[in-house]
């Protein structure tokens, strides 16, 4: 694992932690929380785009290309962002993504 990959995985985990903090202040029906979560999901997708594909391939159960594509949609089609899709992503997908990022870092060992 390259140093860059490690940094981007740390970015993914930091953004997921920030999402949890935002949701601790309110739910996605609060416009500020919704916007904050959306921005952090953009960060997740941007970080994933910078991680080597060989490394991502070691966690094939995660749809990495869809994570990156969601980033593009959130960043460029923000008026079309669905609360239901964002909520499903946060509740259903982020825990798996977080676990995968942690496993990748663990496999790499200490920096």
Point out the catalytic residue in the list 8, 22, 38, 71.
Answer: 71
Q: What is the mean pLDDT of residues 78-94?
A: 85
Residue 2 has a pLDDT of 85
pLDDT for position 92: 93
pLDDT at 111: 63
* pLDDT per residue as tens digits for the range 43-79: 999 999 999 999 999 999 999 999 999 998 888 876 7
- Residue 107 is a catalytic residue: no
Cα 18 from Cα 22, distance rounded (Å): 6
71 is catalytic: yes
Contacts 24+ apart (CB under 8 A), 12-17: 12/44, 12/47, 12/48, 12/97, 12/98, 12/101, 13/98, 13/101, 13/102, 13/105, 15/40, 15/41, 15/43, 15/44, 15/47, 16/40, 16/44, 16/94, 16/97, 16/98, 16/101
Q: Report how many domains make up the chain.
A: 1
76, 83, 103, 107: which one is catalytic? 76
pLDDT-above-70 percentage for the chain: 94
Is the model's pLDDT at 108 over the cut of 80? no
Look up the domain containing 100 and give its range.
3-108
Smallest CA-to-CA distance from 13 within 54, 55, 64, 48 is with: 48
């Amino acid at each position: 694992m390259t140093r860059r990959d490690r940094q981007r995985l740390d970015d993914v985990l930091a953004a997921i932690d920030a999402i949890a903090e935002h949701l601790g202040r309110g739910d996605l029906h609060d416009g500020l929380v919704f916007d904050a979560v959306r921005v952090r999901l953009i960060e997740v997708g941007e970080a994933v785009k910078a991680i080597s594909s060989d490394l991502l391939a070691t966690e094939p159960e995660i749809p990495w290309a869809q994570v990156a594509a969601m980033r593009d949609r959130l960043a460029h089609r923000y008026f079309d962002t669905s609360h239901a899709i964002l909520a499903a992503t946060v509740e259903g997908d982020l825990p798996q993504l977080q676990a995968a990022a942690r496993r990748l870092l663990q496999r790499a060992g200490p920096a």
